[in-house]
Structure 1
C-alpha cells in the first residue's frame, strides 16, 4: 500500500511560510510622527495623558497607603488571637482601608486634573501657578461639596495647600 501524500491532503500544509512574523512589508512602516494626537508632538504631555497618569499613580499610591493602614489596624485589633484569626484580621483591614483611601485620593486627583485642564483651556493654554493652585482649591471644594460648608472650607484650604506645596516642590527641586 502506498503512503498518502500528506501535503496535498492538508489544506494548511504550506500556510506557515505566508504567516511568518518576520516577513514585513516595508511600505507599512511610515516615517511619520509617533504621536497619535497632535498635541503630543511638541514634547509636552497632553491633558489626557496627564489625567491618566496622575489618576492611576495616585490611586496606586493610595492603595499602598491604605493597605499599610489596614495591616497596622489588623495587627492592632488581633491582639492575642491565633495565627489564622490574626491573618484574617489583617486581610479584613487591608480590604477595608486600601480601597477606601485609594478611591478617595484617585477621585480627588481626577477632579484636580479635570479642573486644571479646563482652566488651561479657558485661559488660552496658559499654564502657571495660578492654574495649579486654583485647581487644587476648586478640586478640594468639589470633593467635599456634599459634606456641608465647614467641610467645603476645609477641603478647599487643604486642596490649595497641597497644590501650592506641589508647585513649590516641582519648581524648586525638579526643574
Structure 2
C-alpha cells in the first residue's frame, strides 16, 4: 500500500548502478595489440629501401634508387614502354586527322582515329620496350663485369642494343641503329649529369 502514501519502490535513474564492464574503455586498440605482439616502430619495414640495401657498384647512384639490376630492368623498361605508348598513341591520333575524308560520318571518323591510335601506340611502345629491356640487361652486365657504372658502360650498351636490334637486317641498318642508340645513350648521360649535379634550387652541387 505504499502507493497511497506517495512513495515509490521504483529505483531512480541516478541510483541505478552501471555495470563495471560498461564503464571501462575497450582495451583492444591497435597500440595494445602491437604491445602484445611485441611490435615496435623500429621493427616495421613496409616498402622501405634501406641505404645498406642499395647497389654498392661505383657510380650506380641514379635518379631513382636502385638495389640491383632487377630494379633497373623494371624501372627502365616500364618507364620507356609507358612513355612510348603515350607518344605513339598521340602520333596515331594526329596522323588519323589527315586521313579523315571530308563529309564522312562521325562513326567513320571515330573508327579512323581509333584504328590509327591502336596501330601506332602498341607498335612504338613494344619496339621501345624491347630496346629498353636489351639496353638495361647489357648495361647491368657491363656494370657487373667492370664493377663500375659510368658513361662508357652506357654508351657501349646503347651501341650494342642498336646493333642487336637490327642484326637481322644487314650491316648498314645495324650501323644506323647502333649510332642512333649511342646518341640516345649520350643524351641520357648528359641528362643524368645535369640532374645529379644540381640541387633542388638548380644550383650546381660540389663534387
TM range (shorter): 0.7 to 0.9
Q: Does 1:87 align with 2:101?
A: no
In structure 2, the partner of 1:5 is none
| 2:121 corresponds to which of 95, 98, 101 | 98
In structure 1, the partner of 2:137 is 114
> Is the 8 Å Cα contact of residues 112 and 136 (structure 1) preserved in structure 2?
yes
Gaps of 5+ in 2: 1-27, 198-207
In structure 2, the partner of 1:172 is 194
SS class of match (1:167): helix
In structure 1, the partner of 2:43 is 31
When residues 117 and 174 of structure 1 are mapped into structure 2, their CA distance, relative to the original with a 3 A threshold, is: same
Q: Distance in 2 between matches of 1:21 and 1:140?
A: 59
Q: Distance in 2 between matches of 1:109 and 1:21?
A: 49
| 1:163 corresponds to which of 185, 189, 194 | 185
CA drift at 1:79: 2.4
Tell me the number of residue pairs that the alignment of Structure 1 and Structure 2 aligns: 156
TM-score (norm 2): 0.67
Q: Does 1:40 align with 2:54?
A: yes
When residues 65 and 115 of structure 1 are mapped into structure 2, their CA distance, relative to the original with a 3 A threshold, is: same
**Structure whose residues are more often helix by fraction:** 1
1:69-95 alpha-carbon deviations (Å, 9 max, x no partner): 111122211121211110110000011
Q: Does 1:129 align with 2:160?
A: no
CA drift at 1:27: 3.1
CA drift at 1:120: 0.5
CA drift at 1:35: 4.4
Gaps of 5+ in 1: 1-19
Q: Distance in 1 between matches of 2:55 and 2:125?
A: 32
**Alignment RMSD (CA, Å):** 2.6
TM-score (norm 1): 0.78
Whichever of the two has the greater Rg, that structure is 2
SS class of match (1:126): coil
In structure 2, the partner of 1:11 is none
Q: Does 1:154 align with 2:168?
A: no
> Is the 8 Å Cα contact of residues 116 and 132 (structure 1) preserved in structure 2?
yes
